[in-house]
Amino acid sequence: MSQCAPRARALAASALSVLLFVAGCTAGDDGGSVSRLPPVPGDVAADLTVTLQQSRLDYADRVVEIEVVNGSGTDLVLLGGTLESGSFGPSAETAKRPFLAQTLAVGGRRGVYVELGEPVCPPGPDGDAVVGPEPHAEVVVALGRRDTHGEPTTLDVPISDPGGHLARNLEEDCAAAAVASGLTLTQGAAVRTERREGENIAVITLSVERVSGGPDVRITRIDGSTLIDPIGGTAWTSGALSGQDDGVLELPFVPERCDHHAVAEDKRGTFLPVHATVNGVAQYVVYVPMPDDAKRDLFEYIADYCDWS
């Protein structure tokens, strides 16, 4: 018999052993999970502190953060989560901030970002938009670390909202729905500039279209913003709003500020804060967004007005 045969059989057996070992180590693998780690113990839920957060970067997109603090004595990995509230429909994963496995070590904090569901509003404009029973969150966690974790476990935990984010979003959503039932508000596709009394000013056009068969909606005030300073005061009122009966409002303004940093990082300054009544009932402020082309016009105007190099 060839002297190579025993050696070949030994190498084959060794390779098979390595394959079996690797298979045994990764059995049940699902994006980093390993079956030899058990599910999360049920008592861990009591040691998780969950808080609702919302930054100014996410405000316009109705995105909130489910922030989880691990007060247990066990390292975890945070895999996802949802917000459960009687005031909103099911929350959803956001395309901009998808769920990613994050190590949630003992004493650590991590967050899951979700988009709020459809608001549950009162039947009429005179009803108060009130947040329902105590909201809670379903967070998906596992034992281990981000790269090697056990089977996912969904835990139902209470969620606090010290910043009142749910109430604010609900009020805005329901006010927007009430106003939209009688008016369609749209910022124009361009911001034009003109000279008035030796000063270079800009003008926003706001289209006001009545909804056939809808309630009586009247605009009572439009505020300025962190970028926009209405000419003649801090808001457009009375005579400046007379054009709403003809379907078009012309809103002249100058820049609110000229510092590069604040303008570059601003996330809300292009929204027009509109105050209105629906059938005589005052509503929470409604924010009307600016189209992208108009945003470019606005920033070019600010750069020119502020004499940026």
124-157, pLDDT tens digit by residue? 777 778 777 789 999 999 998 888 899 999 999 9
33 contacts: CB under 8 Å, gap ≥ 6: 142, 144, 149, 150, 151, 152
Query: What is the pLDDT, as a whole number, of residue 267?
Result: 80
> Which of 47, 136, 38 lies closest to 87 in space, CA to CA?
136
Closest residue by Cα to residue 157 from 172, 135, 176 = 135
Higher pLDDT, residue 304 or 35: 304
| Tens-digit pLDDT profile for residues 14-46 | 443 433 333 444 433 444 555 578 889 888 999
pLDDT confidence of residue 124: 77
Q: Which two tokens stand for residue 119?
A: 């608001």
At 270 the three-state DSSP class reads coil
pLDDT in tens, 147-201: 889 999 999 999 999 999 999 999 999 999 999 999 999 999 999 999 998 899 9
Report whether 32 contacts 147 (CB < 8 A).
Answer: yes
Q: What percent of the chain lies above the pLDDT cut of 90?
A: 72
pLDDT of residue 10 exceeding 50: no
State how beta strands 192-196 and 199-210 pair.
antiparallel
pLDDT the model gives residue 35? 54
* Phi and psi torsions of 174, nearest 5°: -70, -35
How far is the C-alpha of 59 from the C-alpha of 40, rounded, in Å? 33
Name the nearest CA neighbour of 204 among 226, 189, 184: 189
Instruction: Tell me which DSSP letter residue 130 carries.
Output: -
In whole angstroms, give the CA distance from residue 102 to residue 110: 7
Bridge-based pairing state of the strands 109-115 and 92-93: antiparallel
What is the spatial distance between Cα 105 and Cα 273, in angstroms, rounded to a whole number?
A: 42
Distance of CA 8 to CAs 1, 5, 34, 237, Å?
Answer: 12, 5, 33, 91
Helix (H, G, I), strand (E, B) or coil at 158: strand
Which is higher by pLDDT, 49 or 38? 49
Report the C-alpha gap between 177 and 231 in whole angstroms.
Answer: 29
Spatial contact of 191 and 297, defined as CB atoms under 8 Å apart: yes
For 243, counting Cβ atoms within 10 Å of its Cβ (0-12 exposed, 13-18 middle, 19+ buried), the class is middle
C-alpha of 77 from chain center: 23
Q: Which residues, 6+ apart, have CB-to-CB distance to 37 below 8 Å? A: 142, 143, 144, 148, 149, 150, 151
